[in-house]
Amino acid sequence: MQINGEIANYLRGGKLGESGINNALLHNGYHIEMFERVLVFGGGCGRIMRQWHWVKGPRFYGTDLNPDLIHWCQVKLGKLAEFKTNGLVPPLGYPDGYFDFIYSISVFTHLSEHVQEDWMREPHRVLKKNGLLLITVHGEWRINDLDPEEQSRFNSGQLIVKYEKAEGSNLCGAYHPQAYVRNHLARDFEVLYYIATGAIDVGQDLYILKKI
């Protein structure tokens, strides 16, 4: 069967995303099959989730703001994972300390500062002690998206959020200096790992954070 270019790029991006997550975990002595429960926060229509079909051991869960995407996942990927919608703000519908590993690809890139802070507290709640949170953000590689005044503030360590009123959509764009992530956004976590543009499928910086 011949796959058109758009679909092929979509599938290729999902595979690159899976590889980026796996490589980051392995670099830090972890493996996806070590975990009991894995949550994909903001996973859309399963671009990366579908790539975990080979994994044995963990139970997978997925959430997203868009109910249409979640319904599609429930129909098409329901044998792979359990899917629920989440709101623009917490909570998630899971108990404290439920997950070993949560990953969130290009979600904090589309939220205002105070909502980002809320969503950092919520993974901290639902992760087990020593559990891992992997996030990706727009870092220095994306600085040309900003005007000169925004670039100056970014370089001074400030978070920049464009089109904040559209948060939750792709129109809203948040840009995270490394110092801001380390000193503010991830202040309740230990930063285990950082790699600039480590999420090559989306061209974003990748962090692995450990609940302490």
Tokens of 148: 């000169």
What's the pLDDT score for residue 3? 60
Which domain CATH number covers 138?
A: 3.40.50.150
184, pLDDT greater than 80: yes
Say which range, 7-21, 113-127, 154-168, has the weakest mean pLDDT: 7-21
What is the secondary structure of 191-212 as a DSSP string? Answer: EEEEEEEEETTTTEEEEEEEE-
Residue 85 within any structural domain of the chain: yes
Contact of 83 with 63, CB cutoff 8 Å: yes
Global pTM? 0.96
Residue 194 within any structural domain of the chain: no
Is 79 strand, coil or helix? coil
Q: What is the mean pLDDT of residues 147-176?
A: 97
198, pLDDT greater than 70: yes
Residue 197 within any structural domain of the chain: no
Residue 196 within any structural domain of the chain: no
Residue 99 DSSP symbol: E
Residue numbers of the domain that contains 66: 5-187+202-211
181, pLDDT greater than 60: yes
Residue 193 within any structural domain of the chain: no
| Number of domains observed in the structure of the chain | 1
Report the percentage of the chain scoring pLDDT > 90: 94
Contact of 175 with 112, CB cutoff 8 Å: no
Residues 6+ apart with CB under 8 A from 191: 181, 182, 207, 208, 209
Identity of the residue numbered 92: L
| C-alpha pair distances (Å), 189 with each of 36, 61, 95, 98 | 20, 22, 19, 17
Tokens of 159: 């978070």
2, pLDDT greater than 60: no
pLDDT tens digit string along 3-52?
677 888 888 999 999 999 999 999 999 999 999 999 999 999 999 999 99
103, pLDDT greater than 70: yes
Cα–Cα distance, 87 to 99 (Å, whole number) = 19
Cα–Cα distance, 35 to 88 (Å, whole number) = 27
Q: What is the mean pLDDT of residues 182-202?
A: 96
1, pLDDT greater than 50: no
